[in-house]
Structure 1
Amino acid sequence: MRLSVRHTTHYRFAAPVSYAIQRLRLTPKETQGQKILQWNMEYEGAREELVYDDQNHNSVTLISAEEGVEEVIVTCHGKVDTEDHAGVIGHHSGLLPLWSFLGYTPLTIAGPKVRALIARVERSESGMVETLHNLSSMIRDTVKYETGRTQVTTTAEEAIAQGHGVCQDHAHIFIAAARALDIPARYVSGYLMMDDRIEQEATHAWAEAYVQNLGWVGFDISNGISPDPRYVRVATGRDYRDAAPITGISYGAMTEELSVKLAVEQKSMEQ
């Protein structure tokens, strides 16, 4: 499947900034089942300073805002070819060892609520993948998808306590539970082509677990499936903080408004 992506982030500051730097993780990965045909990044009110691969093999771009600007616009667009591998990415690679995805982070601590959820998950005789799908279903039933109820700082335990959350919360709960079961797990940020619309308001998030003999396998808890060709993997990490699309700091003004426009659509293989 050939997917076309256009993603624009618009920062408006309350007053002219004296200094600002942004870390962008917006370039898709080259992985099994995913080939980047074209990818461009454009900036208004900022300039590119450095491009590098981080410890998770994410492509990271550092940009700095021009002194005195009141807004910065980041636009990325391109085309990606995807194939269906039933969510299987394959064996581990990268600078971080596999065991580093067993340790907890502040967002993925397996407290009493995560452990109580684990105790209710049916262990499948069919194997670990089916058990992890059962875990995914349990999370989706326990924490209903609802926007506006959680923040990027919400932990797995807090999301379960609230009983509502978004894809980021679902992924963090899954990661915390998998690690408690001694299964390496990681966070994935990316794009998802929706069946009912092209325009979207945010990027998507899901989780991956490392299964013996298969390697990394994806689980989209919010939608109850493993990723298929509609998904584009962009960044991975131990939790959201490692894979956040945009992070940064500014001096001289606070961000007054942040807006995102995202469009993902299928193109013919000739386009």
Structure 2
Amino acid sequence: MTQTANYRIIHETAYRYSEPVALCQNQLRMRPRNQAKLKCHSCEVEIDPAPASILRHPDYYGNMVDSFSIESLHQSLLVRVTSRVTVSAPDAENLASAPAWTELASMVRRGDKPVDWDAREFVFESPRIELSPKFADYAREIMQPHTSIVDAVDALTKHIHNDFRYDTQATDVNTTTEDAFLMKAGVCQDFAHVQIACLRSLGLPTRYISGYLRTYPPEGEPRLVGSDESHAWISVYAGSEVGWVDFDPTNAVRAGTDHIPMCLGRDYDDISPMRGIVMGGGQPELKVSVDVLPLD
């Protein structure tokens, strides 16, 4: 029987501006996408002030994008996305049939099967990921004793977790992957980018996943509404029979039903949750609140 978990997710993004904004145009990538590990039952996007126009379309990777424009003066902006989803755990028996990681890299390079060609685009450089021998050497030393792609990436995931320091002050959204690698510090975005760079440098297709992580309050204490956060991890192609397998280097685990995937891309630049431009506004203040509520 497949293990599943049901959630309601409320993601609020609030801006307050020191001066009026005359025009803003934004893109949202906050809608859950139906996939092997997730089924989206409902998703509602609320925007205040009400946009003059809003369009919804899939991007190149199949993520749903809400593009909106507000064309009246305003000094605040609130975006609330409420979703209800079911997350499924990976099939352990299926993972046991994963190929050797060295053989997989060769198969992808040759494009042995049509599905391998679909995976190959995630083996190249992308805006935030530079391929380098230093990334390959770092990963190879850890993965070499392991045969299966799943076991090898498990080992690398745990090694990065132990070798790097989680530090919210060490990096920001613009920190390069190479700088995070040299500092051996950062947040989930940095951990994911470093592991992607390592695996792609070995010829293994790897995707960047944005989503949410179910958190647990300390024993005896109530859960705090709005205290959860967005999260990022990676997904590795494990051959045509197994498909994509998700790993979380920030927490040294293979992603299960506590991980709620939303969007996928080559790196953060492809799937930042909200991006846009404003005319005016002065100094903005940003507040983000995420609530992941289990429904089981």
**Common fold: TM-score over 0.5:** yes
| Equivalent residue for 1:31, pick from 8, 12, 35 | 35
Q: Are 2:79 and 1:68 equivalent residues in the alignment?
A: no
Separation (CA, whole Å) in 2 of partners of 1:261 and 1:255: 20
* Aligned match of 1:260: 288
- Supply the AA of the counterpart residue of 2:216: D
- Supply the AA of the counterpart residue of 2:229: A
Separation (CA, whole Å) in 2 of partners of 1:97 and 1:250: 37
In structure 2, relative to structure 1, the CA distance for the partners of 1:144 and 1:50 (3 Å cut) is same
* Aligned match of 1:226: 254
Partner SS for 1:67: coil
- Supply the AA of the counterpart residue of 1:242: D
In structure 2, relative to structure 1, the CA distance for the partners of 1:207 and 1:105 (3 Å cut) is same
1:1-271 equivalences in 2 (<5 Å): 1-47=5-51, 48-85=53-90, 97-111=118-132, 113-196=134-217, 197-198=223-224, 199-200=226-227, 202-212=229-239, 213-254=241-282, 256-268=284-296
Residue deviations 1:106-158, cap 9 Å, x none? 32113464244224313244411111111112221222111121111212211
Partner SS for 1:242: helix
- Supply the AA of the counterpart residue of 2:238: V
Q: TM-score, normalised by structure 1?
A: 0.90
Separation (CA, whole Å) in 1 of partners of 2:146 and 2:137: 21
> Given that residues 44 and 72 in structure 1 are in contact (C-alpha distance below 8 angstroms), is that contact kept between their aligned partners in structure 2?
yes
> Given that residues 189 and 233 in structure 1 are in contact (C-alpha distance below 8 angstroms), is that contact kept between their aligned partners in structure 2?
yes
More divergent stretch after superposition (52-61 vs 244-253): 244-253
> Given that residues 46 and 66 in structure 1 are in contact (C-alpha distance below 8 angstroms), is that contact kept between their aligned partners in structure 2?
no
Separation (CA, whole Å) in 2 of partners of 1:46 and 1:239: 31
> Given that residues 32 and 83 in structure 2 are in contact (C-alpha distance below 8 angstroms), is that contact kept between their aligned partners in structure 1?
no
- 1:31 is displaced (CA, Å) by 1.0
> Given that residues 9 and 83 in structure 2 are in contact (C-alpha distance below 8 angstroms), is that contact kept between their aligned partners in structure 1?
yes
* Aligned match of 2:100: none
Q: Which runs of 5+ in 1 are unaligned?
A: none
- Supply the AA of the counterpart residue of 1:245: P
Partner SS for 2:128: coil
Q: CA RMSD in A?
A: 2.4
Residue deviations 1:176-214, cap 9 Å, x none? 111111011110000111022453353000001111131
Instruction: Give the fraction of aligned pairs with identical amino acids, expressed as a percent.
Output: 29
> Given that residues 215 and 228 in structure 2 are in contact (C-alpha distance below 8 angstroms), is that contact kept between their aligned partners in structure 1?
no
- Larger CA Rg, structure 1 vs 2: 2
Partner SS for 1:118: helix
- 1:168 is displaced (CA, Å) by 0.3
- 1:255 is displaced (CA, Å) by 5.1
How many residue pairs align between the two structures?
Answer: 265
Higher helix share goes to which structure? 2
> Given that residues 114 and 157 in structure 1 are in contact (C-alpha distance below 8 angstroms), is that contact kept between their aligned partners in structure 2?
no
